[in-house]
Chain A
Amino acid sequence: MSATEYIVRTKDVVKVFTLGEEKLRALDGVNVDIRRGEYISIMGPSGSGKSTLFNAIGGLDKPDSGSVFINDVDMAQLDAGELAYLRCHTIGYIFQTFNLITVMTALENVTLPTIFAGTPTDDGIARGMELLDIVGLGHRYHHKPSQLSGGQQQRVAIARSLANNPSIILADEPTGNLDSKTGEEIIALLRRLNKEQGVTIITATHDYKMVDVSDRVIWIRDGKVEKIENRADIQLSIGGMAGEAEHLAGGETG
């Protein structure tokens, strides 16, 4: 097996939240292997642990046991500075709530990670403009987030996540706060970036539209991986879900 085939691997990841007396195993031994260049959707009901897994993979929270490997490096072994470097260069984050810095313009938001990376200002600005063009917001570069629509803000956030050419983009419900048409645009944009730039994309989502573009879907329930499906199989199960009755009546499909 080539050492770099899997860009993300998790091994028996457990995360326990203690709520008063109760212990809640938000992640209960999660093992997933994600290949370079894959488009992965993590799906599951609300409260199943998608965001917790997102945080663990992105190094935003430490698991209580188990390990997360990014490019075969165990994240638990990294110190604060190395973690910051990883977040800066290797992973781009997209959130349901966009999390743009409200007092900065679109361009400043997109340029911010390049400042943390130590890129010279002019190069950073050129990169920021290039990315805003890619997401189709080049002409709105001087606008503040509050002057942009939700979909536009999310596109700025996507541009920002790409600022330092990450090899992974992690997105936690990127379409959760958007209407369905805008959501589709965002999904198409992510898919395009995945195809054209070879970025590995991992999204946690409720959005079944995501399934169409995913290479694989990881189903999570109660903190455990329920099943991992390839796209070919997915069409079937979604069809089954969308029209349960039809499926039952029609018997075998595909």
Chain B
Amino acid sequence: MNSLKIRFWRSMITGAGIFLGIAFLCFSGSPILISLFQHTLVPGPDLNRQLWLVVMALLVCTVGIMNSMLMSVSERFREIGTMKCLGALNSLIVRLFLIEALFMGFVSSFGGWVLGFFAVFVVRWITLGWAGGVTSLTPGIIAGSLLLSVLIGGALTLIAALLPAQRAAQMPPAAALRTEV
């Protein structure tokens, strides 16, 4: 019971890393996305500033996700070692972890998108008013940002899980079992 709770909280924390990263990315990327949809994207210092913000957000996102996935896979080395002792193929173990990561990535990214987009919504309502700010958020923009958020979040999580999972699966089981949590 206790360990399940621990696992639950750990995955919540891992998820929160992805969640916040994507929320930040979604929020800072929205001006560019909106201009893109309104065909009002013009080069200039404004765009440069926005691009910088997106790059920064992407970086924060990548590092955050990498870190949380690395942690969450590493603390399960013992489990990986046990599964190898029970006869699991390396490829199966990697696949299990990737499916889990993908699920985690999608769910957290979706949550992140909800928060990020809600922030965009509120900020635009306050600064540009209902008519100018909110009604211009077309279904296309909403769908586009959702798709981008979930894809980027899913892909980053997958890559971040792949590296440690593969390394762990290729370790001799004795080494994997020896690692302390």
Contacts and interface: CB of A to CB of B under 8 A. Distances in A.
A9 interface: no
B117 to A, nearest CB: 33
Nearest to A61: B174
A61 B175 contact: yes
Interface string A51-81: 0000100101110000000000000000011
Contacts of A99: 78, 81-82, 85, 177
Contacts of A60: 85, 172-174, 177
Given A61-B175, A99-B177, A116 B86 contact: yes
B175 A87 contact: no
A27 to B, nearest CB: 13
A224 interface: no
A116 B4 CA distance: 23
Contacts of B90: 80, 84
Contact of B1 (A85, A147, A163): A147
Interface string B2-27: 11100100000000000000000000
Contacts of B89: 80-81, 84, 116
Contacts of B43: none
A55 B175 CA distance: 10
B93 to A, nearest CB: 10
Given A58-B85, A84-B87, A85-B87, A103 B174 contact: no
B36 interface: no
Contacts of B83: 101, 112, 116
B18 to A, nearest CB: 20
Given A60-B174, A84-B90, A101 B2 contact: no
A221 interface: no
Most buried by A among B7, B83, B84, B85: B85
A93 interface: yes
B92 interface: yes
A163 B85 CA distance: 13
18 contacts: A60-B173, A61-B173, A62-B172, A81-B89, A84-B87, A87-B85, A88-B86, A88-B87, A99-B78, A99-B177, A103-B4, A112-B83, A116-B86, A116-B89, A145-B3, A146-B4, A147-B1, A164-B87
Interface of B: 1-4, 7, 78-79, 81-90, 92, 172-175, 177
Given A58-B85, A61-B172, A88-B88, 16 more contacts: A60-B174, A60-B177, A80-B89, A84-B90, A87-B87, A89-B87, A99-B81, A100-B82, A101-B79, A101-B82, A101-B83, A103-B4, A112-B86, A117-B87, A144-B3, A160-B86
